[in-house]
Amino acid sequence: MSINIKNVDYSYNKNTQLETRVLENINLTIDKNEFVGITGKIGSGKSTLIKLFNGLFVPDNGYVHVDRVDASDKKTRKKVGLLFQNPHEQLFSKTVYEEIAFAPSNFGIKGDDLTERVHESLHLVGLDSKITDMSPFKLSGGEMRRVALAGVLAMKPEYLILDEPTSGMDIKGKKELYSNLKRIHSTGACVIIVSHQIDDLLPVVNKIVLMDDGKMTFAGTPSEYLENISSPVPEITQLMRGLRSKGFNVRNDVLTVDDAYGQIKNLLTKK
């Protein structure tokens, strides 16, 4: 079970003077048990790439297969839950319940099963079931984002894709989101996060994809990434590498502040 992307090219404004190539010869396999981060500069093609995963965009060349079925097949849209940037801007229903029930009911889920899914998704994103009758527009910004996430989770997607989910979030919000995503991943769904904030991505994912100017320049585990790629790396890794080059005995693959803190503390107590 996997998403397979083979020799994919994609251009905007095809057959016009404004034609721009945004993806070039992408080859990538994402297995269902993976927790994937896609990173790269703004305009590197990350967001375009994920729109191919559920068939919103169809590649000019090559193919995208989800569990061996072409991504443009309507059935794959149910399997691949895609949450866009600023998801609170897509809310439209009168109540939180209707908002979350929108996606599953579009895929034919009814009755008790639907109610159960709504409550389950609310629970997964850490919201109280009591808010189901409230208007989503009465909620706080953070809660609206979580309702939007719950709205996609209620589809029970086998692949959950999030585009810049942490943009505009504070540190507490980010931590909560990532712990929610880890929980969702542990229920057996594949989670794919698109973000240019590599500091947040590297510590949590087990596969990282680097995009640059429409081409995929790296795909592998975070430790392989640190061995092969010198930039971009998280700031804390950069700091520790700097210390190492000055002769301090610290590792060059530090990813978290806690890890760095432990190592620096070790150095200081040894002296």
Partner 1 sequence: MHSFFFNYVPGNSLIHHLDPRTKLLAVMVASIFIFNAETFLELVTIAGFFVIIAFISGVNYSIFLKSLRPMSLFFIFLFFIQLFLSEGKPIFTIGFINPTYEGLITGLQITTRFIFLILFASILTATTQPVMITSGIERLIRPLPLKYIGVSSFDIATMMSLSIRFIPLLFDNAKKIQYAQMSRGMDFKNNIFKSFSSVAVPLIMSTKRTAQDIAIAMESRCYQGIYRTSLFELEMKNADWIVLLGISIMVLLFMFLI
Q: Which parts of this chain interact with partner 1 (CB under 8 A)?
A: 51, 54, 56, 77-78, 80-84, 87, 89-92, 102-104, 106-107, 137, 151-152, 155
Nearer to partner 1, 152 or 205 (CB): 152
Nearer to partner 1, 22 or 56 (CB): 56
Q: 65 — phi, psi (to 5°)? A: -115, 135
Can you count the helices (H) and strands (E) in the chain?
A: 10, 10
Quote the tokens at residue 77. Answer: 């849209």
In the complex, what is the shortest distance from the CB of residue 161 to partner 1, in angstroms, rounded to a whole number?
9
In the complex, what is the shortest distance from the CB of residue 134 to partner 1, in angstroms, rounded to a whole number?
16
Taking the alpha carbons at both ends of the chain, their separation in whole angstroms is 52
In the complex, what is the shortest distance from the CB of residue 218 to partner 1, in angstroms, rounded to a whole number?
27
In the complex, what is the shortest distance from the CB of residue 152 to partner 1, in angstroms, rounded to a whole number?
7
13 Cβ neighbours under 8 A, 6+ residues apart: 19, 20
- 176-183: long-range pairs with CB below 8 Å, 24+: 176/126, 178/204, 180/124, 180/125, 180/126, 180/149, 181/35, 182/35, 183/124
CA dist 31 and 213 (Å) reads 25
In the complex, what is the shortest distance from the CB of residue 151 to partner 1, in angstroms, rounded to a whole number?
6
Nearer to partner 1, 160 or 260 (CB): 160
Nearer to partner 1, 84 or 178 (CB): 84
Nearer to partner 1, 87 or 234 (CB): 87
Nearer to partner 1, 92 or 248 (CB): 92
- Inter-axis angle of helices 141-153 and 171-186, to 10 degrees? 10
In the complex, what is the shortest distance from the CB of residue 232 to partner 1, in angstroms, rounded to a whole number?
27
CA dist 244 and 90 (Å) reads 47
Nearer to partner 1, 94 or 265 (CB): 94
Name beta bridge partners: 218.
210
**Secondary structure letter of residue 72 according to DSSP:** T
169 Cβ neighbours under 8 A, 6+ residues apart: 142, 145, 177
In the complex, what is the shortest distance from the CB of residue 78 to partner 1, in angstroms, rounded to a whole number?
7
